[in-house]
Amino acid sequence: MHEFSLAAEVLKIAGKEAGKNNARAVNEITIEIGNMSGVEISTFRSALEMLSEGSILDKTRLNLIMIKGKGFCRRCSLEFEMEHRTDTCPACSTFPEEIRNGHEFRIVSLLIEEE
């Protein structure tokens, strides 16, 4: 399960940023996650809660922004939303030449409480 390593990395990054700003607490973390990133959301939430217990991140509110996948079909010059990697172009039923969105996993913002 890579969700635990992702949660550990989020905690590491947030803790480092909190330390740079002499934060008393991290109140909120906003993360973008693509629907085709392979991240199991409930497992990631659980891992983050478990790993942050007793730390500066203990009471942090987690905002997850889900990013829909987008494929591009060169045959039709059409960009379309994708729910799954196996989705095909709605116009011609071919597989997309390019997947433009849906693999994201990034911290967008931290809201800290300064001392």
Per-residue pLDDT of the chain (115 residues; tens, 9 = 90+): 589 999 999 999 999 999 998 988 899 999 999 999 999 999 999 999 999 998 888 889 999 999 999 999 999 999 999 999 899 999 999 999 999 999 999 999 999 888 7
Q: Is residue 54 part of a domain?
A: yes
Query: Is residue 88 within 8 Å of 95, Cβ to Cβ?
Result: yes
pLDDT score of 25: 87
Crossing angle of helices 41-52 and 3-20, rounded to 10° = 50
Which CATH number does the domain housing residue 47 bear? 3.30.2320.50
Q: Is residue 92 part of a domain?
A: no
Residue-by-residue DSSP string for the chain: -THHHHHHHHHHHHHHHHHHTTEEEEEEEEEEEETTS---HHHHHHHHHHHHTTSTTTT-EEEEEEE-EEEEETTTTEEEEESSTT---TTT-PPPSEEEES--EEEEEEEEEE-
Q: How many domains does the chain have?
A: 1
Q: Is residue 97 part of a domain?
A: no
Predicted TM-score (pTM) of the model is 0.85
Q: Is residue 18 part of a domain?
A: yes
Query: Is residue 64 within 8 Å of 31, Cβ to Cβ?
Result: yes
pLDDT score of 115: 74
pLDDT score of 1: 57
By CB neighbour count within 10 A (0-12 exposed, 13-18 middle, 19+ buried), where does 88 fall?
A: middle
